[in-house]
Structure 1
Amino acid sequence: MPYMNVKTTAAIDAGKRETIKSELGKAIELIPGKSENWLMVSFEDNSIMYFKGSSERPLAYIEVKIFGKSSKDAYENLTKAITGIIHKELSIDPDCVYVIYEEISNWGWNGTNF
């Protein structure tokens, strides 16, 4: 049950959204037991964001929420993959990308909880 929210100062057209969504779908498999089959992705582009007091460089903030827990190594590998995808597709330097993780113990779907 993973969820990713991509918030960025960049504009993302429909083609880029589809590409990023697909690449994130592959990347989520770096977390054992997770797959694109359960991945939900949302996008917030053209956001007003500041980093280090400036809005001059393009920025991205990626939230990753998963049902359950994973290892530090898995998160490390996923962060590397996510920042690579964002750099390749949106030309945002990895040092301008934050990735945060939240492990969820209660997750509802289809009228019930896991």
Structure 2
Amino acid sequence: MSIFVVNTSVTKDKLSEALLSEATKELTKVMSKPAQFIAVHFHADQIIMIGGNADPSAICYFQSIEKLSCDEIKKYSKMLCGLVHKQLGISPERIYINFVDMDACNVACNNTTFG
């Protein structure tokens, strides 16, 4: 199970179902996981300031029950920053992603945990 959450200052009208579908598709490819184990959530119209200015930006969280190595995180970061840049026009230096390893027994779906 992996969850990608994007908090962005971009307006809601710039978000589309196609964006969420592409994010899901790209994550299934890079992680070799079925789409049923990928969740994507975008929050638009957030008030965000990075480096003292309010240019378009995103603060993201990528949580996974997979153990994430530094090499995997670099690969995922490149793909996710590229996707957000391409779809929302946010410069990669204004995209922050926090990667979090989750314990499978702390994540539940369909009346049970993954652990």
> Normalised by the size of structure 2, how large is the TM-score?
0.86
Alpha-carbon deviations, 1:64-114, whole Å to 9, x = none?
111131221111111111111111111100000001111101211111112
Q: How far apart, CA to CA, are the structure 1 residues paired with 2:92 and 2:98?
A: 14
Does 1:5 find its partner at 2:5? Answer: yes
Aligned Cα root-mean-square deviation (Å): 1.6
Segments of 5+ residues of structure 2 without an aligned counterpart are none
Does 1:107 find its partner at 2:90? Answer: no
Name the amino acid aligned to 1:42. H
Q: By how many angstroms is 1:54 displaced?
A: 1.6
Q: How far apart, CA to CA, are the structure 1 residues paired with 2:34 and 2:19?
A: 15
Question: Does the CA-based 8 Å contact 2:24-2:39 persist in structure 1?
Answer: no
Q: How far apart, CA to CA, are the structure 2 residues paired with 1:69 and 1:90?
A: 29
Residue in 2 aligned with 1:68? 66
Identity of aligned residues (%): 27
Q: How far apart, CA to CA, are the structure 1 residues paired with 2:67 and 2:18?
A: 27
Question: Does the CA-based 8 Å contact 1:8-1:61 persist in structure 2?
Answer: yes
Q: How far apart, CA to CA, are the structure 1 residues paired with 2:63 and 2:99?
A: 6
Name the amino acid aligned to 2:48. M
Q: By how many angstroms is 1:27 displaced?
A: 2.4
Question: Does the CA-based 8 Å contact 1:8-1:47 persist in structure 2?
Answer: yes
Question: Does the CA-based 8 Å contact 1:4-1:63 persist in structure 2?
Answer: yes
Q: By how many angstroms is 1:62 displaced?
A: 1.4
User: 3-state DSSP class of the match of 2:10?
Assistant: coil
Segments of 5+ residues of structure 1 without an aligned counterpart are none
